[in-house]
Each structure stands twice: as C-alpha cells, then as structure tokens.
A and B are shown apart, each in its own frame.
Chain A
Amino acid sequence: MLSCHPTIDILTEYAAGSLPLAHSLGVSVHLDQCPHCRDQVRRLNNIGAELFSEHSAEVRPDHMASLKSKVMASLVNHEETQAAVDDNTAFQHIPRSLRRWIPQGFNDLNWMPLTPSFKLATLSNESGGAQIALSRVKPGARLPNHTHTGNEITVVLKGAFSDDEGLYREGDFICRDHNHKHQPRVTKDAECICLIILDSPIEFTGWFTRLLNPIMRYFHPNSAAT
C-alpha cells in the first residue's frame, strides 16, 4: 500500500486539465501504480463530464453543418487506424507515461554524474516551464542537503528513500514547496530512481555542494531568463 498520494486539490486540477502538464505527468506516473487514486480521478472526471454535457452554446446551424461535413470528409483516410497499445515486454516496470522517453530502460539514458553517488538524466525541458528528470542514487547514499526554489514533485520509480518526514517507496508521490529544506537518504538495500519535476532549479545548501548550483541552473529551462 502506498503511503504518499497527491492531494485532492492536485487530483481535481489533474482531472479538470488545469494542472500544468509537467505536474500532470507526475500524477499519471503515480496513477499507474495506485488503484485508489485512479478510482478517485475517475470520479472527478465524472464531475467534469456532467458540467461538460450540461453546458452548450448556441451556434448557427449552417456553421455546424459545414463543420460536420468537414469532419465526415476527413474520416475516410482514418478508417483503418487502430491505436497500437504499447505494453510490451521487457520494460513493464517503467510507467507507461514515461516509456516514450525511456524506450530502452533506465541504463540507456544519458546520466550526468553530479556527485559520486548521485546522477541525473533530463527527460524533457519545457521551454519556460518545468524540468523533468530522473535522479539515480546509490544504495545507502545521502543526497546533498538542498532546498527548493519552486515546487518539486517526486515520484519514486525504483527503490526507496527517507527524510525527516518518512519513508517513501515505489509509486509514492511527494510534493514539496520552496519552504522545504531536506536531506533525503536512500535505503541500503537498493539504488533509488525517482522522477523529479522541478518548477525551478534545486539549490544545494551544503558547503561544498553549493558549487553544483550553477550546473543545476544551467540545466533548468528557466535559467535562460536569469
């Protein structure tokens, strides 16, 4: 049983489509492993469906007729289309919504070592948006002390880590804001891989690791503005 879930506020925004895309990605990775939140989202979708179906606007009939013939005319070529559902084989452990970026498994990504025990691989940078990356930390290692300059969403993909507030396992969804300063530690039995979604760069507060901050900023899509 997972212990950390998105709040109902986040799930509502997700269902309504008003959550930023990058955050929605984090939620969807969690949903992949959490039947409870899936059920919750399904119910939240039902509200949207009701509001949607009760809300119609008047349109000129001739306008709708011409739109309809456009739709009908463009069907022909698509008739055979069958969306291929990709859930094959070797990479079942990778959440479906991430497989596009991780087609060949975790090892095949372009990992950038930041400290001897901590590596980072960027999956996607939205221009002016969030950075989406994976962090990979060796068994038993401590992450450098750091703080967040914006919101950070973490979803555990493999292994487990803990901080002052608890232990987080595969599938857990953790949302931290900029007031939060913490030093996560990975459990000793296995390495830990997490999806992290950063609204703005992480800032290391340790003596020595501060030297990494320019690198963290460099790789964040928001850095161009500063």
Chain B
Amino acid sequence: MNTVSETKTDNTLLVDMSQVAQARDTRALERLFDHYAPRIRAFCLSSQPGANLMADDIAQEVMIRIWNKAHLYNPSTASLNTWVFTIARNARIDYMRKNGRYQSDIDPEDFWSEMADENADPFREAQQQRDQVRIREGLTQLPSEQQQVLSKVYLEGKSHSEASEELGLPLGTVKSRVRLALNKLSVIIKR
C-alpha cells in the first residue's frame, strides 16, 4: 500500500516539476518546496547537527537551483528524487568548501557530467523506475547494522574511515557492510 501512495506522490511532484520547467509556475515550485525543503534541511542537519542556519541556507540555495536548472531535468535519466538529492549533495559540499576547514577551488558542480550526458531512452526510464522501487523496498529489509553504515555514509556524509572511527569498528568491517548492503540492493554492476 505504501508503495502505491509513494508512487502517487512521486507523480504529483513530477507534474509540478514540469510545470516549473515549462510554465515557470511559482505555485508548483512552492509545492516542491513544501515537499523537499524539510528533507534538504534534515539532510544537512544529519551531517552538522544543530547547524540550523546552514540547513536554511542550503535549502534555500537548492530550491533556487531547482528553479534555475529546471529545464535541464530529464526524467529519463534520473528520478526527481535522485536529481534533487544530487543538487542537495553538491550544495552541501559547496557550502563546506566555502565555509569549512580547508579551502578549495574545485567546484562540485563540475562533476555533473555523469547526469547530463545520457541520451533520452524510454527503456532506461522504465529501468530507472524499477531500480528505484527495488532500492526503496530493499532498504527496509536490510539488517540494521547495514542501514546504519549507509546512513553514516550517505546522510551524514562520512567517509568509510570516519564512519569506522565513529562506530568503533575496523575499516574493513565498515567497507564490507557497505558492500553487503549494495549487493542486497543489487546495485553493483558486474563487469
């Protein structure tokens, strides 16, 4: 049941997104804001607990980027969640780069190549949706220790070695838990 309602939400968001891209519909952007802004804030707060100002700044920045880049979004190369996640991830990295411990003139936006260059392909879109559903269902069935490392790495933005320090586990254990999880989610592509 849950899956059905999730998919419905996804479709509503997708309609809003295309309204933003094609009609520059600010109402649609407000609905996207209502859905995504709390998630972007939560995503930032998991890496920097208590940093509410940073979370607000990044949420704002991401929503503006969504508006400005709307015409670049192509549903056949990435689900909307994935697209917004990568923007939020990049914005978080960018924020840390500008305000963090060490300065760098590398711009994470330069890494967008992986998303931008795929040709539209209807089979890929269907494949994309199947992958997403499989991952969504698979995540809930992972053992808690594997869920824990995935959330350290993805949500808190910890490297494997930082995760191993914080969890008090050997680096090898962290790496193997991540890999086990990836295997269970059938995410690893065999060569």
Q: Which residues of A contact B (CB under 8 A)?
A: 5, 8-9, 12-13, 15-22, 24-25, 28, 31-32, 36, 38-59, 64, 67-68, 70-72, 74-75, 78-79, 81-83, 85, 95-97, 100, 124, 126-129, 132
A36: contacting residue among B85, B139, B160, B189, CB under 8 A: B189
For chain B, residues 60 to 118, give those with C-beta under 8 angstroms from any C-beta of chain A.
60, 63-64, 67-69, 71-72, 77-79, 81-82, 84-86, 88-90, 92-93, 97, 101-108, 110-111, 113-116, 118
Does B102 contact A126, Cβ atoms closer than 8 Å?
yes
What 16 additional pairs, Cβ within 8 angstroms, besides A28-B111, A42-B82?
A9-B179, A16-B89, A18-B153, A21-B93, A21-B97, A28-B114, A38-B114, A47-B185, A52-B81, A59-B38, A68-B33, A68-B37, A78-B68, A124-B105, A126-B104, A127-B103
Per the bound structure, the CA–CA distance linking A40 and B67 in Å amounts to 28
User: Given the known A-B contacts A12-B153, A72-B30, A96-B113, are A52 and B97 also in contact in the complex, defined by CB atoms under 8 Å?
Assistant: no
Closest to A221 in B: B102
Which residue on chain B has the smallest CB distance to residue A78?
B68
When chains A and B are docked, how far (Å) is the Cα of A184 from the Cα of B102?
Answer: 32
Complex interface bits, B130-164 against A, C-beta within 8 A gives 1, otherwise 0: 01100110010000000000110111011110100
Residues of B within 8 A of A38 (CB): 114, 118
Q: A44-B187, A57-B45, A127-B103 are in contact. Are A24 and B111 (CB under 8 A)?
A: yes
Cα-based distance from A91 to B63 in the complex (angstroms): 33
How many cross-chain pairs have Cβ atoms below 8 Å apart between A and B?
200
Closest Cβ of chain A to B38, distance in Å, is: 5
A72 touches B135 (CB 8 A): no
Chain B, Cβ-Cβ closest to A34:
B114
Number of residues on chain B facing chain A (CB within 8 A): 77
* Those 9 A-B pairs whose CB atoms lie nearest each other, nearest first: A57-B42, A49-B82, A49-B85, A49-B81, A126-B104, A17-B89, A97-B110, A28-B111, A128-B102
Sample 12 A-B pairs with CB under 8 A, ordered by A number: A17-B89, A17-B108, A19-B159, A40-B189, A48-B85, A50-B139, A52-B43, A52-B81, A57-B38, A71-B64, A72-B30, A100-B107
Chain B residues with CB below 8 A from A59, complex form: 38, 41
Given contacts A85-B116, A126-B102, contact A49 B79 (CB under 8 A): yes
* B89 and A128 within 8 A (CB): no
